[in-house]
Amino acid sequence: PPPYTGVWMGDSKLCAIGVHCGSHITSHGLALNCCTDLSWFEHIVPCGLEGKGVTSLSRELGQHVAVSHVLQPFLDSFQEVFECTLVSSEEPG
Protein backbone atom coordinates (compact mmCIF):
# COMPACT_ATOMS: atom_id res chain seq x y z
CA PRO A 1 0.00 0.00 0.00
CA PRO A 2 1.26 3.52 -0.71
CA PRO A 3 3.68 4.97 0.19
CA TYR A 4 5.53 1.64 0.47
CA THR A 5 7.47 0.20 -2.46
CA GLY A 6 7.18 -3.37 -3.68
CA VAL A 7 4.28 -5.64 -4.47
CA TRP A 8 1.72 -6.07 -1.71
CA MET A 9 -1.12 -8.43 -0.91
CA GLY A 10 -3.10 -6.48 1.67
CA ASP A 11 -0.66 -5.67 4.51
CA SER A 12 1.87 -8.32 3.44
CA LYS A 13 4.76 -7.74 1.07
CA LEU A 14 5.08 -10.27 -1.75
CA CYS A 15 7.97 -8.66 -3.62
CA ALA A 16 10.62 -6.23 -2.41
CA ILE A 17 12.17 -3.72 -4.79
CA GLY A 18 15.25 -1.75 -3.87
CA VAL A 19 17.86 0.69 -5.08
CA HIS A 20 21.14 1.46 -3.34
CA CYS A 21 23.55 4.26 -4.19
CA GLY A 22 26.94 4.61 -2.57
CA SER A 23 30.65 4.99 -3.31
CA HIS A 24 29.87 5.98 -6.91
CA ILE A 25 28.07 2.66 -7.46
CA THR A 26 24.36 2.16 -8.04
CA SER A 27 22.78 -1.26 -7.54
CA HIS A 28 19.19 -2.39 -7.73
CA GLY A 29 17.18 -5.54 -7.44
CA LEU A 30 14.05 -7.31 -6.42
CA ALA A 31 13.08 -10.30 -4.36
CA LEU A 32 9.91 -12.15 -5.30
CA ASN A 33 8.88 -14.62 -2.60
CA CYS A 34 7.89 -17.82 -4.37
CA CYS A 35 8.30 -20.65 -1.87
CA THR A 36 10.21 -18.79 0.82
CA ASP A 37 10.34 -20.12 4.40
CA LEU A 38 8.41 -17.21 5.89
CA SER A 39 9.16 -18.22 9.50
CA TRP A 40 12.49 -16.34 9.31
CA PHE A 41 10.57 -13.07 9.01
CA GLU A 42 9.14 -13.63 12.51
CA HIS A 43 12.56 -12.68 13.93
CA ILE A 44 12.93 -9.31 12.19
CA VAL A 45 10.93 -6.24 11.21
CA PRO A 46 10.83 -6.80 7.43
CA CYS A 47 11.97 -3.73 5.49
CA GLY A 48 11.79 -1.80 8.77
CA LEU A 49 7.99 -1.62 8.52
CA GLU A 50 6.30 -2.23 11.89
CA GLY A 51 2.95 -4.02 11.68
CA LYS A 52 3.42 -5.24 8.10
CA GLY A 53 3.88 -8.86 7.09
CA VAL A 54 5.52 -10.88 4.35
CA THR A 55 3.84 -13.42 2.11
CA SER A 56 4.73 -15.67 -0.82
CA LEU A 57 3.15 -16.89 -4.03
CA SER A 58 2.91 -20.36 -2.47
CA ARG A 59 0.98 -19.05 0.54
CA GLU A 60 -1.32 -16.84 -1.53
CA LEU A 61 -2.10 -19.54 -4.11
CA GLY A 62 -2.33 -22.37 -1.60
CA GLN A 63 0.13 -24.55 -3.53
CA HIS A 64 3.88 -24.89 -3.95
CA VAL A 65 5.22 -22.37 -6.49
CA ALA A 66 8.88 -23.03 -7.36
CA VAL A 67 11.18 -20.31 -8.66
CA SER A 68 11.70 -22.42 -11.80
CA HIS A 69 7.97 -22.12 -12.57
CA VAL A 70 8.00 -18.33 -12.26
CA LEU A 71 11.35 -17.36 -13.78
CA GLN A 72 10.58 -17.50 -17.51
CA PRO A 73 7.13 -15.87 -17.31
CA PHE A 74 8.68 -13.15 -15.12
CA LEU A 75 11.50 -12.52 -17.61
CA ASP A 76 9.03 -12.45 -20.52
CA SER A 77 6.84 -9.90 -18.71
CA PHE A 78 9.87 -7.80 -17.76
CA GLN A 79 10.93 -7.58 -21.41
CA GLU A 80 7.42 -6.64 -22.48
CA VAL A 81 6.87 -3.97 -19.82
CA PHE A 82 10.29 -2.36 -20.22
CA GLU A 83 10.40 -2.87 -24.00
CA CYS A 84 13.85 -4.42 -23.88
CA THR A 85 15.71 -7.60 -24.72
CA LEU A 86 17.39 -9.45 -21.88
CA VAL A 87 20.77 -11.03 -22.58
CA SER A 88 22.25 -13.77 -20.43
CA SER A 89 25.49 -15.70 -20.58
CA GLU A 90 23.67 -18.82 -19.40
CA GLU A 91 20.20 -20.30 -19.56
CA PRO A 92 17.78 -19.30 -16.74
CA GLY A 93 17.40 -21.76 -13.91
Active site residues: 47
**Which candidate, 67, 3, 60, places its Cα nearest to that of 32?**
67
**DSSP secondary structure letter of residue 4:** -
Please report, to the nearest 10 degrees, the dihedral formed by the alpha carbons of residues 93, 68, 30, 83 taken in order. 80
Cα distance between the two ends of the chain? 31
Bridge partners, residue 22, by sequence: 25
